Amino acid sequence: MYYYALPFNLLVILALTLIIPACSKPEEVQKIGGFAQGTTYHVSFWLDPATDTKAVKQAVDAEFSRLDQQLSNYRKDSVIEQFNAKSSTESQSVGEEVVALVEQARLVSQASGGCYDLTTKPLFGLWGFRGDKLTPPDEAALQATLKQVGFAQIEVVDATHLRKQIPALEVDLSSIAQGYSVKRIAALLEKQGIENYLVEIGGELQTRGKKPGDLPWRVALEKPLSGERTMQKVITIKQTEPLAVMTSGTYRHFFDLNGKRYSHILDARTGKPVDHETVSVTVLHADPTQADAWSTALLCLGREAGIEAANKAGIAALFIEQQGDAFNEYNSAPMAALNQVTIE
């Protein structure tokens, strides 16, 4: 599974490049952006022309700073990394947000049959995915490391405390934290009365409302090719209710060794990189936190098992498989219920 602070920039945001002529409507899309969580972010919104864009950006940047302090695995001083660093089976205070994310991820893990798991961090070090050289482990080392992995090893003590069942356990939130961050930034905008927006962090996004002129938000899915940036599909979002679009893929982070490609997506059940033809999964969901976790879980499972899991859980998902030079697309059944969203 992909659980590292190296976000996939899978979505090209068409909405950020379209210009609405000033003569057509007095409202104009306002844009802010910057760097956060090891990637870039962009926020487009419109409201009253008197909206203080500078104040909005200050509030957004402050929220990113707060989220980083809680959830970022690349910061040694973050709450989650302090939890990881403490080799103890005593109860530790991590706050409500971390506990809630662990519980949400646990449900997705169970729905994926354990393929998706937040505790696979030791496996990345074993395989060498944290460095520049792949080091496939022998079976003994793999089995020993797998003993440090598993949601069963995390106990939720109460709303603000977690306990490790084994001292060496480590939790990596990157497969769910970015979606949660999108949710938090969207909530911040709504608190300020902004009901028409697009929030994007490292290619993961949520929309609400429409653009000026009653126009829908439009985003493009990137073709899953390494070393190339071309468009695969365009998603037109006509609904005004919030909708998250989250994509996970295998084609940006991998190693080639002795003629074989090894994905960064690790199956927590085997401790090995996934070995199937699914190269990307896009999930459309009202909750960006859920969408983020599910896109990784479904990519871990691959198209056949993934569609079965998505159908059972009611998750709208687009799977793309690479078969030779062709990229074939498959939808889960709940995708048909999104009658105000078109993908073409």
How many residues appear in the chain?
A: 344
184 lies in some domain:
no
pLDDT at position 328:
93
CA distance linking residue 51 with residue 56, whole number of Å: 8
221 & 339 share domain:
yes
| Same-domain status, 15 and 109 | no
Q: Is 187 a member of any domain? A: no
Same domain, residue pair 114 and 208: no
In terms of domains, do 211 and 327 share one? yes
Q: Looking at the structure, do residues 104 and 198 belong to the same domain, yes or no?
A: no
Regarding whether 323 and 201 lie in a shared domain, the answer is: yes
Query: What is the rounded CA–CA span in Å between residue 307 and residue 195?
Result: 33
Domain match, 220 and 296 both: yes
Q: For residue 27, is it within any domain? A: yes
Q: Residue 169: give the domain boundaries.
A: 71-174
Beta strands in the chain, from DSSP E residues, in sequence order? 11-12, 30-36, 39-45, 92-93, 154-158, 161-164, 197-201, 204-208, 217-222, 231-237, 243-249, 254-257, 260-263, 266-267, 272-273, 278-285, 316-323, 326-331, 341-343
109 and 209 part of one domain: no
Residue ranges in the chain modelled with pLDDT below 50: 1-26
204 is written with which tokens? 């993961």
Instruction: Check residue 131 and give its pLDDT.
Output: 66
Q: How many domains does the chain have?
A: 2
Distance CA 29, CA 197 (A): 9
Q: DSSP letter for 153, please.
A: G
- Predicted confidence at residue 284, as pLDDT, reads 98
Classify residue 183: in a domain, yes or no.
Answer: no
* Closest of 105, 112, 238, 229 to residue 172, by C-alpha: 105
How many whole angstroms from its chain centre is CA 83?
22
Residue 286 shares a structural domain with residue 149: no
Sheet holding 197-201, edge to edge: 30-36, 39-45, 197-201, 204-208, 243-249, 278-285, 316-323, 326-331
d(CA 197, CA 210): 7
User: Are 215 and 242 contained in the same domain?
Assistant: yes
Question: Would you say 292 and 314 are in contact if contact means Cβ atoms under 8 Å apart?
Answer: no
pLDDT of residue 90: 97
Asked if residue 89 is part of any domain, the answer here is: yes
Q: Report CA-CA distances (Å) from 251 to 79, 220, 237, 322, 336.
A: 31, 17, 26, 10, 27
Q: Is residue 185 part of a domain?
A: no
316 in Cβ contact with 284 (< 8 Å): yes
- Does the pTM exceed 0.85? yes
CATH of the domain at 18: 3.10.520.10
pLDDT in tens, 77-102: 999 999 999 999 999 999 999 999 99
Query: Are residues 132 and 269 located together in one domain of the fold?
Result: no
Q: What is the pLDDT of residue 255?
A: 60
pLDDT of residue 21: 40
Please report whether residue 87 resides in a domain.
yes
At residue 12, the pLDDT reads 44
Q: Same domain for 36 and 87?
A: no
Residue 150's CATH number: 1.10.3980.10
**One-letter identity of residue 82:** Q
In a domain, 204, yes or no: yes
User: Of 142, 174, 206, which one is at a domain's C-terminal end?
Assistant: 174
pLDDT of residue 85: 96
